[in-house]
């Protein structure tokens, strides 16, 4: 079969956990023919979806961090405790994000290997 297979993932819903909310991803496989001019539009739509998801995740992170860490509105600067809380919050988010990305990449590799295996059987 000619074409390029692309795995698209985006949160289909949000699931509550003990430490907060996490996205529940839906993985969709799209077969694209590189010579088809409509693929440019599909790639643009996928990029827009990814950007929207990134902005939404960032905004939720900022909101949760602010609600959790910022307690005193009497000063126009953050207290040392608030600054430390924000730093810890950001560091934890980055570690979580990196770990999630690694696991997702591993999952995608397994899916692609399975797809190639299935194509070889055909």
Q: Is 111 exposed, middle or buried (0-12, 13-18, 19+ CB in 10 A)?
A: middle
The whole-model pTM stands at 0.51
Q: What whole-number percentage of the chain has pLDDT above 90?
A: 12
Beta bridge partners of 21: 16
Q: Is 82 exposed, middle or buried (0-12, 13-18, 19+ CB in 10 A)?
A: middle
The reported pLDDT for the residue numbered 34 is 57
Q: What DSSP string runs through 40-65? A: HHHHHHHHHHHHHHHHHHHHHHHHHH
Is the separation of the CB atoms in 81 and 73 below 8 Å?
Answer: no
| pLDDT tens for each residue of 52-105 | 888 888 888 889 899 999 988 888 899 999 999 999 988 898 888 889 888 988
The CA angle 108-11-52, to the nearest 5 degrees, is 105
């Amino acid at each position: 079969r000619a074409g390029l297979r692309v795995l698209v993932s985006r949160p289909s819903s949000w699931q509550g956990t003990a430490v907060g909310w996490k996205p529940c991803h839906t993985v969709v496989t799209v077969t694209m023919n590189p010579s088809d001019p409509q693929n440019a539009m599909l790639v643009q739509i996928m990029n827009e979806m990814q950007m929207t998801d990134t902005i939404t995740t960032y905004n939720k992170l900022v909101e949760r961090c602010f609600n959790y860490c910022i307690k005193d509105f009497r000063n126009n600067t953050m207290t040392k405790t608030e600054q430390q809380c924000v730093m810890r919050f950001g560091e934890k988010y980055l570690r979580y994000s990196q770990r999630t990305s690694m696991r997702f990449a591993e999952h995608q590799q397994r899916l692609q290997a399975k797809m190639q295996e299935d194509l070889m059987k055909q």
